[in-house]
Structure 1
Amino acid sequence: MAAAFCNLCSAFAKDNKKSQNIEFTTPYEYRVIVNEIEGVTAPYQKDDYIVFTAKDGPRHIGIVFDFEDYKEIHSFMRKTTTDIEGNIIDSVYFYILDLPKNIDSISYRLIIDGIWTTDPQNFNSYYNPYTGISVSTLSVKNNHVDETQKTDKGVHFIYMGESGQKVRLGGTFTNWDSSIYELHETRPGYYELYLPLPEGTYYYAYYTGTKSFADVTNPDRAWSGEGREASKIVVN
């Protein structure tokens, strides 16, 4: 039986030179994960990395993520397996994401030869009626912990509503300025924000556009200085 060898060849676009150089700049764990890729599968998590794979054939495959507002295109790389004579036995595209902090779900799209699409290897997707776009989704276990979340004094704000909104937070801790904090849509219609607040009593409200409203999950209510209904919370 002829011996098989794995090779990595770049599939980066010319304007994406800041992408990974596996041989020199990536950590040991990354290279181990690359060596373990055996074929095209649904995306999966390996420690603090998410592995995406795609079939060989296209000239270029890119991926964009919700936590970057779908603005930065990350190029897949190609892993090839060759025999002792250098003949290609198998080839697969892959991209490995170093999981950002404080994220428990990911929405993303692929760009295959310039065409934006969902991930054909991932059956989990949803349609956003506000943007008219379907995106692939993936739940993850995040081992990256932000130092602010290690404190035992703080508030985890949660709002549930329609997907695709910009939900802001204002209160006595911002002098009712709603432009400072915006909740993050961690999964469709589920918005979160963690604030490390010192001990005390606070009043707050959520905002969408120019409209403000109290937290329906919090029964403690009050009225803001502007005469609007607000929610009350005590951190102790």
Structure 2
Amino acid sequence: MKRFVKIILAAGLLFNLFPAFAKGSEKSSGENFVYPYEYRVVVNEISGVSAPYQVDDYIVFTAKDGPNHIGIVFDFEDYKTIHSFFRKNITDIDNKVIDSYRFYILELPKDTESISYRLIIDGIWTTDPTNINKYYNPYTGIEVSTLDVKNNHVDETQATSQGVHFIYQGESGLKVRIGGTFTNWDSWIYELTETRPGYYELYLPLPEGTYYYAYYTGTKSFVDKTNPDRAWSGEGREASKIVVN
């Protein structure tokens, strides 16, 4: 699970950052919005209408402007929740609107490998005209658009009141060890267990305190990529840091 720095912006400021949320959105101009920084970067990089595409843990859906309202519904929500598209305006050097299109950005649910969805354009349910991948269910008589995705969600090492659940993800078949201040940097005491291909875990019941650690394969040591908290020793060695409360 990625850690996002949530940035809370008033709607007017959000419009200035990227003029995507103009008329056509169901959000009122007086609301406050919460969008991760990564989301705003993805919005800024949308260049026009295209087939759905993936950027890290986001799927970008686009549509031509014109309808009063465009919504999208997903299979993992049983097609019950309608998510509204936003409008993004393209302006010239004088800030005059010369073109516009609609978009919706989906943050991937965990453990999702494919998505089925439908668009709702001015109340009419339909498939996505930008996506050639469709599936017709003869039993329901409904055709849906489909999309294969790569799920980049990463589980992370987490501390609890009883200890730490360490997680490493990499190649399958490795022998991944851990060493740290709780082992006096002896890396041969604990070895993580590969619970599924390329996914290694270890739970250690550690008392309250601040701990520094690193993973090891052979004689090579490396930090925990799922844990952004780092520290450096006097010799310049980088280690991961975690606090048990």
Q: Give the TM-score taking structure 2 as reference length.
A: 0.53
Provide structure 1 residue ranges, at least 5 long, that are not aligned to the other structure.
155-236
| Inter-partner Cα distance in structure 1 for 2:77 and 2:154 | 19
Poorly superposed stretches of 4+, deviation over 3 Å: 145-148, 150-154
Map of 2:58 onto structure 1? 49
Match of 2:46 in 1: 37
Q: Residue 130 of structure 2 corresponds to which residue in structure 1?
A: 121
8 Å CA contact 1:6–1:82 kept in 2: the answer is no
How far did residue 131 of structure 1 move? 1.1
Q: Residues 18 and 43 of structure 2 are in contact (CA less than 8 Å); yes or no, is this contact kept in structure 1?
A: no
- Structure 1 match to 2:21: 9
1:61-97 per-position Cα deviation (integer Å, ceiling 9, x unaligned): 0000000000000000000012344421110100000
Counterpart for residue 92 of structure 2: 83
The 1-side partners of 2:61 and 2:145 are apart by 12
Q: Please give the alpha-carbon distance, in whole angstroms, between the structure 2 residues aligned to 1:146 and 1:87.
A: 45
Alpha-carbon offset, residue 118 of structure 1: 0.2
Paired positions, count: 145
8 A Cα contact 1:102 1:145, kept in partner: no
Q: Does 1:59 align with 2:68?
A: yes
Matched, 1:72 2:73: no
Q: For residue 161 of structure 1, what is the aligned residue in structure 2?
A: none
1:153-181 deviation per Cα after TM superposition (whole angstroms, max 9, x unaligned):
58xxxxxxxxxxxxxxxxxxxxxxxxxxx
The residue type equivalent to 1:13 in the other structure is: E
Q: CA offset at residue 26 of structure 1?
A: 0.6
The C-alpha deviation readout for 1:99-143, integer Å capped at 9, x for no partner, is 000000000000001100000000000101121100000000001
CA distance in 1, matches of 2:155, 2:140: 31
Among residues 127, 140, 143, which one is paired with 1:131 in the alignment? 140
Q: Which amino acid aligns with 1:118?
A: T
Taking the TM superposition and a 5 Å limit, the aligned residue runs for 1:200-215 are none
Tell me, yes or no, if the aligned pair for 1:108 and 1:137 is still in contact at 8 Å. yes
The question of whether the paired residues in 2 share the 8 Å contact of 1:9 and 1:78 is answered with yes
The question of 1:104 aligning with 2:113 is answered yes
- Name the Cα RMSD after superposition: 2.8
Question: Unaligned 5+ residue runs, structure 2?
Answer: 1-16, 157-166, 170-192, 197-245
* Larger displacement relative to structure 2 (135-144 or 79-88): 79-88
* SS state at 2:135 partner: strand
Name the stretch that deviates more: 100-109 or 139-148: 139-148
